[in-house]
């Protein structure tokens, strides 16, 4: 077991991890990699030094150690110093590994304990989600791929480590990949060594790791167990023969850190819902995630139909006065044929569509005369992105190029043209400027808002017959 432990802030957690590992009925060897000297218990090896000058490079230190000792051990664990694994976790890994293909590895999810006794799944947030097409049964076990492969921990057998090294993707220089430096070191076996991480959802309790600080509770990093369990139930139903369905369309971008991907857990946005009149009776929401906005609209008395991103996250939105449907665009179009709505809502999803103008055209037939269309999109022309492109920063160059990044640069003039073309008159557009940029916006009398805003909201109204 190699544990990355930077500085002294987590020394209390580190001692707990070491105590847990040394209490297991295995012949264990614990190594702590740190940037500083620190006291460690007897029998624990301390390796001091960073792979390079970047403090975030510390997690990469374990790779050389694993490679040098690849023939000496049966199992290899890498962990950050605040993520607790137990004997139960290791035994479960070995048990399900027996029924899995050799190119797949059982994976783990982290959780935190909330003060009320419930659980927060801290790896389940933002654009990370279950892949509906990945659900599979091996023996009596059900597995699925969760797109956040980082759990600050991984476990490999000797054979898997050997294959990872032979792939050429393991012993590599410190680098940033799909994730930041620290997370990249913990996910390289999955992202560039030929393995796929699958979570055993049928025995999930055995594949949960306690994130000891419990620090993400109440933040945007995490999902309450009530929402998570609905997704797990949907996964189990799919494994038992429930019909699978395509996703609406690709909503995770190919940009660094998946910038501008759709947030599956998007909160209610006051600046958005205020544009939907209180008298609205029927709302069609395109690209619904966990359904916070849709539930809010339903509680206000509207009949809400949610076109969900996929059937797994759709399980969170079902019920509570919300009709949840999913499928590819053609399936959705077929299921909505002949209906009429007073409002169409597209929140941070239009810029991810292959043909946004065509999508608006298909949806316009569902909007009743005098009905409203509310569109929220990210402002890809904000000053930070423009400066990044001028500097030829490779992270910024693909932004807005759909073929390269999966994002389209959508502007107010473009939206006006597309909406006008389908009989929807643009009545309002607003650049949403937040945080420390608001003072500058006021000083510039709003003239700089197209460069300062993070998002753009437009409202259109369909012409009467």
Average pLDDT, the chain: 95
Q: Calculate the dihedral angle through the C-alpha atoms of 30, 34, 39, 44, rounding to the nearest 10 degrees.
A: 10
Q: How far is CA 16 from the centre of its chain?
A: 29
Residue 431 φ/ψ region, left for φ over 0, alpha for ψ in the -120 to 50 degree band, beta for the rest: beta
- Contact between 353 and 409 under an 8 Å Cβ cutoff? The reply is no
Which of 67-71, 207-211, 328-332 is predicted with the least confidence, judged by mean pLDDT? 328-332
pLDDT of 243 reads 63
Lowest-pLDDT choice from 155-164, 174-183, 197-206: 174-183
**Is position 331 within any domain?**
yes
**Whether residue 196 sits in one domain with residue 49:** yes
| Residues 423 and 463: beta-carbon distance below 8 Å | yes
pLDDT attached to residue 384? 95
Q: Are 176 and 187 in contact (CB under 8 A)?
A: no
Res 144 pLDDT > 70: yes
pLDDT greater than 80 at residue 341:
yes
Please tell me the predicted confidence (pLDDT) of residue 320.
Answer: 77
**Are 114 and 78 members of one domain?**
yes
3-state secondary structure of 352: helix
Residue 246: inside a domain: no
Closest residue by Cα to residue 310 from 267, 273, 262, 255:
262
Q: What is the mean pLDDT of residues 406-417?
A: 96
Residues 92 and 211 in one domain: yes
Please state the rounded mean pLDDT for residues 79-100: 97
Our CA dihedral for 276, 278, 284, 287, rounded to 10 degrees, sits at 50
pLDDT digits (tens, 9 = 90+) for 103-126: 999 999 999 999 999 999 999 999
Q: Do 215 and 325 share a domain, yes or no?
A: no
Q: Specify the pLDDT at position 245.
A: 64
Which of 179, 207, 239 marks a domain boundary? Answer: 239
What is the value of pTM for the model shown? 0.94
Residues 314 and 408 in one domain: yes
Same domain, yes or no: 328 and 211: no
* Alpha-carbon gap, residue 279 to 302, rounded angstroms: 8
Q: Is the pLDDT of residue 98 over 80?
A: yes
For residue 154, the domain's CATH number is 3.90.550
The answer on 149 and 271 residing in a single domain is no
- Last residue of some domain: 177, 207, 239? 239
For residue 244, is it within any domain? no
Give the pLDDT confidence score for residue 428 in this predicted structure: 96
Per the domain annotation, does 271 fall within a domain? yes
Q: 181-191 and 61-68 are packed helices; what angle lies between their axes, rounded to 10 degrees?
A: 40
pLDDT above 80 (res 265):
yes
d(CA 289, CA 305): 12
Percentage of the chain beyond pLDDT 90 is 92
**Boundaries of domain holding 314:** 256-462
Counted domains in the chain: 2
In a domain, 36, yes or no: yes
**Where does a domain end: 185, 214, 239?**
239
Cα dist. 107→58, 163, 181 in Å? 22, 17, 20
265, part of any domain: yes
The reply to whether 28 and 155 lie within a common domain is yes
Q: Are residues 337 and 205 part of one domain? A: no
Q: Are residues 211 and 338 in the same domain?
A: no
pLDDT band for position 142 (50/70/90)? Answer: very high
- CATH code (residue 419): 3.40.50.150
Two tokens, residue 301: 């008395």
* pLDDT above 70: percentage of residues in the chain: 99
The mean per-residue pLDDT over the stretch 431-438 comes to 92
pLDDT (tens digit per residue) in 206-254: 999 999 999 999 999 999 999 999 999 999 999 888 666 678 888 999 9
Whether 382 is covered by a domain: the verdict is yes
pLDDT tens-digit readout, 271-316 = 999 999 999 999 999 999 999 999 999 999 999 999 999 999 999 9
Residues 142 and 202 sit within 8 Å (Cβ to Cβ)? yes
pLDDT digits (tens, 9 = 90+) for 24-54: 999 999 999 999 999 999 999 999 999 999 9
Whether residues 30 and 83 share a domain: the answer is: yes
For residues 47 and 160, state if they share a domain.
Answer: yes
In order of 83, 119, 217, the CA distances from 213 in angstroms are: 9, 13, 10
| 250 in any annotated domain | no
């Amino acid at each position: 077991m190699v544990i990355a432990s930077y500085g002294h802030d987590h020394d209390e957690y580190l001692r707990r991890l070491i105590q847990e590992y040394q209490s297991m009925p295995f012949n264990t060897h614990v190594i702590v990699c740190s940037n500083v000297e620190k006291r460690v218990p007897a029998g624990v090896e301390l390796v001091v030094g960073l792979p390079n000058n970047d403090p975030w490079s510390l997690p990469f230190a374990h790779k050389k150690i694993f490679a040098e000792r690849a023939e000496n051990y049966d199992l290899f664990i890498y962990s950050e110093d605040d993520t607790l694994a137990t004997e139960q976790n290791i035994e479960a890994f070995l048990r399900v590994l027996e029924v899995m293909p050799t190119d797949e590895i059982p994976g783990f999810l982290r959780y935190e304990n909330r003060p009320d006794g419930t659980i927060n799944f801290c790896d389940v947030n933002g654009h990370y989600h279950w892949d509906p097409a990945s659900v599979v049964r091996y023996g009596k076990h059900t597995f699925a791929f969760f797109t956040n492969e980082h759990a600050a921990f991984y476990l490999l057998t000797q054979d898997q480590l050997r294959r990872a090294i032979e792939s050429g993707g393991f012993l590599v220089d410190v680098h940033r990949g799909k994730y930041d430096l620290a997370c990249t070191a913990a996910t390289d076996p999955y992202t560039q060594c030929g393995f796929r991480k699958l979570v055993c959802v049928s025995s999930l309790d055995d594949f949960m790791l306690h994130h000891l600080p419990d620090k993400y509770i109440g933040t945007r990093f995490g999902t309450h167990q009530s929402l998570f369990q609905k997704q797990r139930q949907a996964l189990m139903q799919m494994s038992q023969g429930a019909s699978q369905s395509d996703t609406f369309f690709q909503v995770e971008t190919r940009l660094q850190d998946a910038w501008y991907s759709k947030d599956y857990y998007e909160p209610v946005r006051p600046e958005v819902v205020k544009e939907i009149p209180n008298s609205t009776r029927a709302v069609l929401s395109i690209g619904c995630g966990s359904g916070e906005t849709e539930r809010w609209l339903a509680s206000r008395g509207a009949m809400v139909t949610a076109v969900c991103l996929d059937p797994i996250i759709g399980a969170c939105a079902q019920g509570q006065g919300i009709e949840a449907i999913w499928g590819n665009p053609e399936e959705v179009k077929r299921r909505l044929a002949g209906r009429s709505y007073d409002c169409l809502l597209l929140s941070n999803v239009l810029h991810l569509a292959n043909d946004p103008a065509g999508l608006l055209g298909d949806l316009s037939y569902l909007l009743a005369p005098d009905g409203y269309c509310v569109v929220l999109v990210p402002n890809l022309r904000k000053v930070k992105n423009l400066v990044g492109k001028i500097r030829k920063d490779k992270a910024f160059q693909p932004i807005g190029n759909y073929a390269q990044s999966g994002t389209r640069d959508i502007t107010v003039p473009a939206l006006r043209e597309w909406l006008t073309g389908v009989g929807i008159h643009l009545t309002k557009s607003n650049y949403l400027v937040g945080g420390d940029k608001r003072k500058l916006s006021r000083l510039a009398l709003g003239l700089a808002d197209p460069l300062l805003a993070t998002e753009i909201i437009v409202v259109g109204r369909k012409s009467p017959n």
